[in-house]
Amino acid sequence: MKHAIRRFKSLAAALKELEPFVRDGVHLQTGKPFARFGGLRSREILANWLLCVAMNDHQRGGDFYFTTDPLGGDGVICDGRSDNTWRTEHVMVPDRPIRPGVTVEDLVLEQIRLKVDKGGAAYASGKTLLVFLNAAGGAWHPNKVVRGLPEPLHFDTVWAMGLQGVEQGAYVYGVTNLHRSGGDAPAWRVRIAPAFDAWAVERFQ
C-alpha cells in the first residue's frame, strides 16, 4: 500500500515558501505545524532544506530533496540519484536566556539526550536526528559536542544547524554533521540571498 507524501516542486520553491518564517524568526520557535505539509513546523522544514542543500554541495551537484513522512516523523531526506531515503526526527535548542555556567554545547547535548531517552533504540534506530539551534549563545564548537554524544546514540547520525548572522540582508546558516568517524565535524555555511531567490554553499571545515 502506497502512502501519500508531499514535497515542494523544488528547493528554490521551498525557500520562497520559507521566506516569511525565516524573516519573522519567532515563527521558527513558536509557529504551529502546517497541516498541509504533514504537520511539519517551519523550523523543521527549514532544517530539512538546509541539510539538503549542504548534501547537494557535498555530493557536487547531488539531487537531495525532502518530503513529508507518512509514518509520522519530521520529514524524509531523499537522494534522487540512488533513491535512498533517511527518516528524520528534530529537536530545537530554544532562544531563551542561557543559564549561568551553561555553554551552547551543553544545550545541544541536553536536547540530544532528551531525544535519545524518549524512546530508545525502537524510536531512534534508522533515523537521522536534526538539531535546530535557535539559541543566541554565540560561537560553539561541534567537536566538543561530538565527544559528549550519549552512548548508545541509537540514531544513525546527528546534524546541527543554526543562524550564524545576517550580513547585508543575506541570512547565513551553519550546517554541521556531528559524526564519530574521526577528524573535525564536517561543516558548511549556507548563505541565502536577500531576495530569497538563490543561495550559496561553502564547506569550511
Q: Model-level pTM greater than 0.85?
A: yes
Asked if residue 142 has a cis previous peptide bond (ω within 30° of 0), the answer is no
* Nearest residue to 77 (alpha-carbon basis) of 98, 58, 104, 92: 58
Per-residue pLDDT reduced to its tens digit, 67-86: 999 998 999 999 999 999 99
* The pLDDT of residue 202: 95
pLDDT of residue 1: 36
Residue 101 predicted with pLDDT over 60:
yes
pLDDT higher than 80, residue 160: yes
As a whole-number percent, the residues of the chain with pLDDT over 70 amount to 96
Task: Work out the average pLDDT over 35-52.
Answer: 96
Query: Which has the closest alpha carbon to 77: 60, 91, 62, 94?
Result: 62
Question: How large a percentage of the chain has pLDDT more than 90?
Answer: 77
Contact 37, 43 (CB under 8 A): no
Taking only the tens place, the pLDDT of each residue in 116-132 is 998 789 999 999 999 99
Confidence (pLDDT) at 42: 97
Enumerate the domain spans of the chain: 11-203
* Side chain identity at residue 128, one-letter code: T
Q: How many other CB atoms sit within 10 Å of the CB of residue 67?
A: 17
The single-letter DSSP state of residue 29 is H
With CA atoms as reference, report the closest residue to 133 among 96, 162, 159: 162
Higher pLDDT, 170 or 182: 170
Res 184: pLDDT: 84
